[in-house]
Amino acid sequence: MLRRHGGCIITLIKLRLMNKFSIKFYDKKNCVNPTDIKNKLFSHDNIPVIFQHQVHGNMGLAITKENLGQYQPCLTYDSDYLITNLSQIGIGVLTADCLPIILVDTKNDSIGVVHAGWRGTVERIILNTITHMNQIFKTTPQDLRIFFGPCALSCCYEISEPFINQLPAWATAALKNNCFNLTLCNELLLKELGITHKQIDKSYNECTICNDRFCSYRKKPGDYTRQMSIIWLN
């Protein structure tokens, strides 16, 4: 999927379709050189892409003109969100059942990409990301356009009692019949900032578990294929 939004380009790629790729786990059987990934995916646009190495927390990195030299395209850096205001620099996240969130500041030309697993979500990672964007790029909630990607939805995301016991009180509103609504949980957080449903695009927020178009660890334990969600300023 390739989608244009204003001066941004958003792309979602299913890594299972490219069975040579394994940039997260570096297993010997499927490992490829990061340069090959760039050449195969982005040679037509010549866009360098910086990826997260998700640690299931709530912290992230800002990619700016001052620190860009610290990061190499197609390598991963410990974080659960990335933000930037640089054009022609992609930022990306790999997900299976966790929720990928893309943020576009329509006023200040800055973007973010978030890995919102359940741990990061209950630790309010989406709010941390927006706060960071405000500190660095002067982003305000009313100027954001937000895109939710595919993840485990409440129709299939059944959780256990130990999981439920770890949820803070505010997050239990996203729980019904032992099924967790990860999407709703993040919407509740965004609502705290006054972000409305009109600012959130859920066109691609499909269930990874019951939809064979997507990769899902819950559907196939031990299957390390992933979706790749990427955005860059054009």
Q: Using alpha carbons only, give the angle 32, 35, 39 rounded to the nearest 5 degrees.
A: 105
Q: What was the pLDDT predicted at 92?
A: 87
Interatomic CA distance for residues 153 and 165, integer angstroms: 20
Q: What was the pLDDT predicted at 10?
A: 53
Interatomic CA distance for residues 151 and 139, integer angstroms: 26
Quote the pTM value: 0.84
Positive or negative: CA dihedral 106, 110, 116, 121: negative
Domain that holds residue 70: 2-233
Residues of the chain with pLDDT under 70: 1-45, 74-75, 222-224
Interatomic CA distance for residues 60 and 71, integer angstroms: 14
pLDDT digits (tens, 9 = 90+) for 122-179: 999 999 999 999 999 999 999 999 999 999 999 998 888 888 998 999 999 999 988 9
Q: What was the pLDDT predicted at 131?
A: 98
Q: What was the pLDDT predicted at 115?
A: 96
Q: What was the pLDDT predicted at 113?
A: 95
Q: What was the pLDDT predicted at 34?
A: 47
Q: What's the token pair of residue 2?
A: 């390739």
How many structural domains are present in the chain?
1
Q: What was the pLDDT predicted at 23?
A: 38
Give the CATH number, domain containing residue 30: 3.60.140.10
Q: How far is CA 197 from CA 21, 91, 227, in A?
A: 36, 25, 25
Q: What was the pLDDT predicted at 28?
A: 42
Q: What was the pLDDT predicted at 198?
A: 95
